Structure 1
Amino acid sequence: MAGVRRTARAQKGWGAGTRPALRKTMAAEGGAFGEAVRAVRAGELEADEAADQMIGRMTDREVLSLLDGDSHSLLLPLIPVLLGRRPFVAGAVPRLGIPGIRFSDGPRGVVIGASTAFPVTIARAATWDPALEERVGHAIGLETRARGANYSASVCVNLLRHPAWGRAQECYGEDPVLTGRMGSALTRGVRVHVMACVKHFALNSMENERFEVDVSVDEHALHEVYLPHFKAVVEAGADSVMTAYNRVRGEYMDINRPLLTDVLRDEWGFSGFVTSDWVFGTHDAVLSLQAGMDVEMPLRMLRALDLPGALNRGDVARETVRRSARRILRTSVLHAATREAAGPGAALIACPAHRALARQAAAESIVLLKNEIAGAAPLLPLAPATGHLAVIGRLAGRANLGDHGSSRVRPPSAVSPLQGLREALPRVRITATSGRNVRAAAAAAADAETAIVVVGLDQHDEGESVVTAGVDVGVLGRAFGSGRLRGPLMALAHLASRFVRGGDRNSLDLRPSDVRLIRAVAAANSRTVVVLIGGSAILTEAWRDRVPALLLAWYGGMEGGRALASVLTGAVEPGGRLPFVLPTDAAHLPPFDSAAKSVIYDDRWGQRRLDGDGHAPAFPFGFGLGYTTIGHRLLDHKFDDAGGSADVLVTNTGDREGSTVVQVYAADVSLRRPVAQLLGFRKVTLQPGVEATVRVTLDAGPTLQRDPATRRWAPRAGDWAVLAAQHSPGSWAGARPLRRPGPGPLTGGECAVEGSAG
């Protein structure tokens, strides 16, 4: 009877405002969630009403259990192991059939079990193809659900402020428009089957000090540079947002009410739920709840300790608890009611269709940066009559998938560059060497018709960092400094450090041994191709002029070796375009201090910084070559404060099928050094000799500014011009004035702009 009386008291406290007539539609205890899903699907209840009905049937303990993970804090040292074996659950209430949030990570595929390993996010950004990214998202969502999860933290849209960021490989590059379009596409694909979580909100762009760094940012940079892509993904339907570890303007993100409530909910209208980043992302149980962070992940830690007493004492309002509970249940019910009813089977995990998709994404991500004439033709693609190849480098024989942190995927098999070439060229003699012995490598290269050098980075050079014993965990929250939790925390740090390396990069250059290898091989064979593996920019000035062909192949996923071989042999066009600028000197980028406890984020980074300072890049943002030549001409455009479109005539002037990414930029040409702003893009494939008119959707955001007082957006002052190009333009000669309706300086005539080949 005590249990019955407790439930009755809970109904009185939590059921306020729930209509009695609606409560009658609920099923008996044990099936309330399933009945709510059925009722919402049938249109008998709104999701909010269904959530309120369930809350009205719950005890205090059950309602509070929605607000943190279900696993005991003693599992802390086992997180690295368990993350790859099962979903982490938060808020399950078996008595009412509530399944809870069943978490899986996965920017490049599902981290549970042996799943499809797609190319890393920044590689897929290089495809500049949202339709392809949506297909990848759909596959990740299917495999996530097949692994027993209903919630995927796969959408990472933090801006690449500096390529030394250890987790650059998990983002979509340096541009807000490209990031917003690609992140929105992944979101749409993922949430067909599971709830999609976007992360890390906000201003998380460094790794080693991510737990402590305080980011200062002005209103212009915050809303016009670092937040637009988050807003785009929210508008695309993201079900959840994960907070970042860092502080913004002095407040940790879990207690940052100005961003979590004033911006995310009040200004953008986000109605889903917010979770913390894991373990170290919650600093105060009550303040985080009041600020708008709904779920502490992934264990029972601060909130389990503090919220019951705070609720009993009245330190936290019952309505505040109810508000977060409603968000969680409403989102869960609504998603379950609208997703495909039949769950996928395990047979589709890493199935042939998903492997083929991974291979396509990898091939379309590869960026051809250089391809000079070698003899009578460009060095690439490899001549059909090639008889002897030397494949050289410590990464040539490895299926290098990238970071070994929380995004790590363990596919059932993976293909190295060497294996891919051997499969693609079974009749070609291939000599392979690791390159550790530089003289032997040079001799092998001299004996071959063409040498392919595969060098770059791996999980030791970049990736997710781990907490070590040198970190004062007391700053991360009271619970982490206590005797009960400090031991498990330190055990976790030491365990993780055995498997997870990386962190922020120490240099943007290759390892000295790789540079020596490239120089030696290039000296021995004038037909040398360099393939770079990595997750962001790698400087090439020390050796680029010595080699005729250069490709950036990223961490290409489980089919990366086959994809690379298909591009080298010409079976597939190199479809990638840079999602960031490659400078000639790291000093041309913003300062980057991986040990900084405070940092200022402004609007000068990447290609925009180089433009403003007058530095020519090695390769500009958006750059990439193909195996044909393509020209373009801007025909017309329509534009207002809501966006618009541009019509571009694109012509394949070469002798084989090829692709390009039509990119439309705007800039204030009244400035001495105009700074290019990407407005829109579209990938197009054409047969030789064919021309087509391509319509490119334009985003007005880069030409607008936000009034902090009114939160309204208006055109930015200046003499704005528009230009169609195949990469960020180095010159604005011949650009057309950006036409807006109505009078003002943003009107004018027209002129044609010709595109460069490639």
Structure 2
Amino acid sequence: MPMTSFEPRKGMTEQEIEKTISLILAEASLAEKVGMMSGKGFFAQYAESGRRWGGHAYRAGGGIERLGVPALYFTDGPRGVSRGNSTCFPCSIARGASFDVALERRIGEVMGIEARAQGANLSGAVCINLLRHPAWGRAQETYGEDSHHLGEMGAALGLGVQAHNVIGTLKHFALNSMENARFKVDVQLDERTLHEIYLPHFKRGVDAGIATVMSAYNKVNGEYVGQDRYLLTDVLRTEWGFDGFVHSDWIRGVYAVYGAAAGLDIENPEPAVFGENLIAAVEAGHVEPTVIDRACRRILTVIYRFASAEDPLPGYDMELVASDAHTRLALESAEKSAVLLENDGVLPFKRGSIARLAVLGRLAAIENTGDTGSSMVRSPYVVTALEGLRRHLGEDAILTADESDIDHAAAVAKDADAVVVVVGCTALEEGEYVPGGLTFGADQKEALEKEGKTAADLPSKGGDREHLSLPAEQVALIEAAASAGKPVVVVIVAGSAVLVEEWRDKASAILQTFYSGMEGGTALARLLFGEANPSGRMPLTVAKSIEDYPFFDRDADAIEYGYWHGYAKFEQEGLVARYPFGFGLSYTRFAYRSLRARVSGDTIHASVGVTNDGDVSGDEVVQLYVGYPGTIKPRAAKALKAFNRVTLAPGETKIVDLAVPLGSLAYRDVATHGWKMEAGEYRIIVARSSADPAPLSAGITL
């Protein structure tokens, strides 16, 4: 124990925290303060674990041992804690398809518990980058294409994580919507596009109380985000009132010491730019000492607020990690995330009519929970699609084949009563891009030398998708299955959109499960046989042609992000989606009636009656879009502003309430750099998707 110790204690008041921090800053040396502004020990730990991301909880800033000041220890996400053998949930975009904010909050709480149990107090689980184009390799790590939806889901996850005193971080701030060029690309856009399309979800997270922000690698309008004063200070701190700290993404997150003055508080994982360079800059008068104190005060305030707060649980033991309760939640999430895209009546299967089921496709038999980058979770087990169906029907009822022998697959399909074909992607086709020549420090280089290798020997992995269609061999597999004349159900495993025009007429049903986590195979069997009712809704627009999406160049040095993407672009240009945002089928039917809308104070309150007109229980996702008066250009014809998921028994009716803050309807006024309301009549639209042909609508004049 140091002679002077400022260790946090449970129950400290805000005043006590402020006083303690002032004493720390008065006592600490410049070197100790700058030391808190960087991670420490990552390269050695990474080499020690055999270059296995998540092998440790990484020290990510904070910490002065001499004074008893605790450090930050980081673990990644977002489909579970990347440490040890944690619960692997469906990927974020799958959970986005659930449109279930309450479920996402519970998932966040599990991640907080499992992070605490494994020595971490800072979580990188909340990824809310907007999905501008479905070719983005890390689409699976975010929730979808709509800003409101992103903000609500991300805030829920972050608050769940923080409920157990694990510090949440919003990432990657901002404009990180492509992967291969993320270290170099300059994203260029105007003020309205930035503030109306690409930032509102981050503000929602800040307003909810998520305590930290991770900066992105890319440039915005010519400057790297990690040293961009406009984003990190003018917007985040001054305009939004954010009082937490900002830390960089891992490796290459900042390039100049002025990043500290611009608003970057911590460089992770180690001081490649800060550290001695920052000390020298202060001593030379290039960086004011107040910049260092300000950053340290932000870091310490967050650390001490969380460290002194009472814990909801009496202890955080390893027995909680991947416990039965947590894996049951993973199963619930997988069931609620799957989207039924097509169904000619073949689903749900009747157990008595399926004596033999053909399960085709290489992907049916492999553990395929998503990319193998920073979001990888090594769960204690994974139930594959094949294993889940074998458990459900029995070993002898399942016939198998894959795309390596199309003739054999066709023969197997003929011998079955029905066919399930599993197609899509793996981490080889999409995910976090790690260039083969990228090494993490001298320790990794030394480890490679011991193996007789250099950085050039490291293979590249992940990245943006080159195609949105299925590979030819998977299409051939679907066609072979269909040639047998039996019902064919196609299951799509992928992190975003898969174009279906080439083969959809061959399928009796199409179910997109995304990457469905450790219990995905169990969920699939229950969904196919009606023990769970599909209730997911597409969190992105699936086009008929790749040409309908915005321009995308995965190797770009610079790219312009325009105002239009997603369902707003489709409506603006008169395009017809194959599966619109918010679309999804069910084994039951829902009817809407009696829409009411009124303004009270600063909020629009709407209600609608929703009835289950079918024979089985089901969940409906009620979506409220707002149509603008149309005097301000450009502006979307309508935008999602509220949603609510409701469970209904057969014949049951519930009144669903939805609320829209008036402030969310404002547009960015470039003359004043503030927000204004457009005067006129707004349409309150309650619908089953962004392209519902028969929505309910009411008018409100503002």
TM-score by length of 2: 0.94
Which residue matches 1:17?
A: none
Which residue matches 1:574?
A: 534
What's the offset of the Cα at 1:541?
0.4
What's the offset of the Cα at 1:547?
0.9
Which residue matches 1:723?
A: 685
Equivalent residue for 1:358, pick from 330, 344, 351 = 330
**Is residue 543 of structure 1 aligned with residue 503 of structure 2?**
yes
Bigger shift: residues 729-738 or 118-127:
729-738
Q: Distance in 2 between matches of 1:44 and 1:619?
A: 50
CA contact (8 A) 1:30 1:94 kept: no
What's the offset of the Cα at 1:178?
0.5
Equivalent residue for 1:132, pick from 78, 99, 103 = 103
Which residue matches 1:464?
A: 432
CA contact (8 A) 2:347 2:528 kept: no
CA contact (8 A) 2:215 2:253 kept: yes
CA contact (8 A) 1:379 1:527 kept: no
**Is residue 70 of structure 1 aligned with residue 40 of structure 2?**
yes
* Aligned ranges 1:3-402 → 2 under 5 Å: 29=3, 31-34=5-8, 37-38=9-10, 41-43=11-13, 45-71=15-41, 81=51, 83-89=53-59, 90-193=61-164, 194-285=166-257, 287-340=258-311, 342-373=314-345, 378-402=346-370
Offset from partner CA, 1:324-356 (integer Å, 9 cap, x none): 000000110011122417440000000000000
1:514–1:465: structure 2 CA closer, same or farther, 3 Å change rule? Answer: same
Secondary structure, counterpart of 1:735 in structure 2 = strand
What's the offset of the Cα at 1:28?
6.6
Percent identity over the alignment is 40
Secondary structure, counterpart of 1:556 in structure 2 = coil
1:422–1:75: structure 2 CA closer, same or farther, 3 Å change rule? Answer: closer
1:701–1:179: structure 2 CA closer, same or farther, 3 Å change rule? Answer: farther
Which residue matches 2:561?
A: 601
CA contact (8 A) 2:596 2:698 kept: no
Which entry has the higher C-alpha Rg, 1 or 2? 1
Q: Distance in 1 between matches of 2:299 and 2:320?
A: 29
Offset from partner CA, 1:333-384 (integer Å, 9 cap, x none): 01112241744000000000000000100110000001103xxxx4324444
Q: Distance in 2 between matches of 1:210 and 1:78?
A: 27
Secondary structure, counterpart of 1:32 in structure 2 = coil
Bigger shift: residues 44-53 or 268-277:
44-53
CA contact (8 A) 2:612 2:653 kept: yes
Q: Distance in 1 between matches of 2:307 and 2:627?
A: 45
Which residue matches 1:21?
A: none
Q: RMSD between aligned alpha carbons?
A: 2.6
CA contact (8 A) 1:676 1:729 kept: no
What's the offset of the Cα at 1:72?
6.7
Which residue matches 2:592?
A: 632
Equivalent residue for 2:608, pick from 632, 648, 653 = 648
Counterpart amino acid of residue 428 in structure 2: H
Counterpart amino acid of residue 735 in structure 1: S
Secondary structure, counterpart of 1:697 in structure 2 = strand
Bigger shift: residues 426-435 or 342-351:
426-435
CA contact (8 A) 2:445 2:454 kept: no
1:432–1:733: structure 2 CA closer, same or farther, 3 Å change rule? Answer: closer
Offset from partner CA, 1:629-672 (integer Å, 9 cap, x none): 01112421124794422101000100111111000112247699
Which residue matches 1:531?
A: 491
CA contact (8 A) 1:519 1:546 kept: yes
Counterpart amino acid of residue 516 in structure 2: G
Q: Distance in 1 between matches of 2:671 and 2:694?
A: 34
Q: Distance in 1 between matches of 2:605 and 2:396?
A: 49
Secondary structure, counterpart of 2:550 in structure 1 = coil
What's the offset of the Cα at 1:556?
0.6
Counterpart amino acid of residue 153 in structure 1: G
CA contact (8 A) 2:42 2:269 kept: no
Equivalent residue for 1:403, pick from 360, 368, 371 = 371
1:541–1:395: structure 2 CA closer, same or farther, 3 Å change rule? Answer: same
Which residue matches 1:713?
A: 675
1:489–1:701: structure 2 CA closer, same or farther, 3 Å change rule? Answer: farther
Counterpart amino acid of residue 625 in structure 2: Y
Stretches of structure 2 lacking an aligned partner (at least 5 in a row): none
Bigger shift: residues 394-403 or 517-526:
517-526
Counterpart amino acid of residue 672 in structure 2: T
Q: Distance in 1 between matches of 2:49 and 2:221?
A: 31
**Is residue 618 of structure 1 aligned with residue 586 of structure 2?**
no
Q: Distance in 1 between matches of 2:674 and 2:392?
A: 56
Offset from partner CA, 1:105-149 (integer Å, 9 cap, x none): 010111111111111000100000000000000000100011001
What's the offset of the Cα at 1:489?
12
Offset from partner CA, 1:193-252 (integer Å, 9 cap, x none): 200011000000000000000011111111111000000011111111000000001000
1:208–1:83: structure 2 CA closer, same or farther, 3 Å change rule? Answer: same
What's the offset of the Cα at 1:318?
1.0
What's the offset of the Cα at 1:466?
1.2
Q: Distance in 2 between matches of 1:725 and 1:251?
A: 41
Which residue matches 2:624?
A: 664
What's the offset of the Cα at 1:311?
1.9
What's the offset of the Cα at 1:467?
2.8
CA contact (8 A) 2:37 2:266 kept: yes
TM-score by length of 1: 0.87
Q: Distance in 2 between matches of 1:638 and 1:629?
A: 28
Q: Distance in 1 between matches of 2:679 and 2:169?
A: 36
Counterpart amino acid of residue 182 in structure 1: M
1:622–1:72: structure 2 CA closer, same or farther, 3 Å change rule? Answer: closer
